[in-house]
């Protein structure tokens, strides 16, 4: 019974988009936007362990960079799914 429910649920899942350079570019742009948003909105972006190249990301700490790129991946996944649904990718 459980396996038939899983199979029925799997039949309802739409096909996902395959990786392409367009998808990668959208993800990179979303991560850059998230880093910029984080740089201006995090109250203490330089608190915590630093990065090996501190000037590269404008004084963000390791935790701030991980947080902003995590947000960037959420933003990127939503953007990619939305653009795929519209047929733009």
Going by pLDDT thresholds of 50, 70 and 90, the confidence category of residue 21 is very high
- The whole-angstrom separation of Cα 80 and Cα 68 is 18
* Region of residue 53 (phi > 0: left; psi between -120 and 50: alpha; otherwise: beta): beta
80 vs 1: which has the higher pLDDT: 80
pLDDT digits (tens, 9 = 90+) for 29-74: 999 999 999 989 988 877 878 777 767 767 788 888 899 999 999 9
The predicted model scores a pTM of 0.76
């Amino acid at each position: 019974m459980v396996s038939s429910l899983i199979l029925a649920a799997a039949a309802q899942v739409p096909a996902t988009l395959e990786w392409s350079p367009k998808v990668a570019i959208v993800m990179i742009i979303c991560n850059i936007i998230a880093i910029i948003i984080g740089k201006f909105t995090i109250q203490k972006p330089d608190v915590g362990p630093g990065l090996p190249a501190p000037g590269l990301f404008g004084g963000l700490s390791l935790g701030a960079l991980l947080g902003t790129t995590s947000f960037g991946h959420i933003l990127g996944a939503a953007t990619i799914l939305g653009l795929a649904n519209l047929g733009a990718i």
